[in-house]
């Protein structure tokens, strides 16, 4: 289990976007997944790195635990639910999955542009201040 930073798709009401997550990379049956813990909801999400979507959500109903321990519990639960993994694998051949991959790539590209735009605004403000134009 290796620490990684990655993006996942998030939904707040009717708004869909992406968020950077600090989590782990895990392998299940030869497949690589990203995993993170939502401290507020006390849930662990196993994420498909191609779509940014959750393949599995593990709810920690037992209270506080170490994040690594919860990630292992979530991984083991997904392994136990062989049908869920099988269904996910089968979904990768569908048009909807291929569109989700493209959508996720577009969200990531938009995030890069958003960061570049923010940097450009700061540079422009600094240039204006240096020129005495605030």
Provide the whole-model pTM.
0.82
**What is the pLDDT averaged over residues 107-123?**
93
Sign of CA dihedral 107, 39, 31, 83: negative
CB 35 within 8 A of CB 26: yes
Model confidence pLDDT, tens digit, residues 15-32: 888 999 999 999 998 899
**How sure is the predictor about 67, in pLDDT bands with cuts at 50, 70 and 90?**
confident
Task: For residue 123, name the pLDDT band (cuts at 50, 70, 90).
Answer: very high
Read off the tokens for 134: 């605030």
């Amino acid at each position: 289990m290796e620490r990684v930073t990655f993006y996942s798709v998030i939904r707040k009401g009717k708004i869909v976007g992406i968020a950077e997550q600090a989590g782990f990379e895990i392998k299940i049956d030869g497949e690589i997944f990203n995993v993170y813990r939502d401290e507020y909801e006390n849930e662990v999400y196993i994420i498909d790195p191609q779509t940014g979507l959750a393949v599995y959500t593990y709810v920690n109903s037992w209270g506080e635990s170490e994040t690594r321990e919860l990630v292992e519990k979530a991984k083991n639960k997904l392994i136990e639910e062989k049908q869920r993994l099988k269904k996910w694998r089968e979904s990768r051949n569908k048009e909807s999955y291929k569109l989700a991959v493209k959508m996720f790539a577009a969200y990531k590209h938009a995030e890069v542009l958003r960061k570049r735009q923010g940097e450009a605004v700061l540079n422009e403000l600094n240039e204006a201040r240096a020129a005495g134009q605030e």
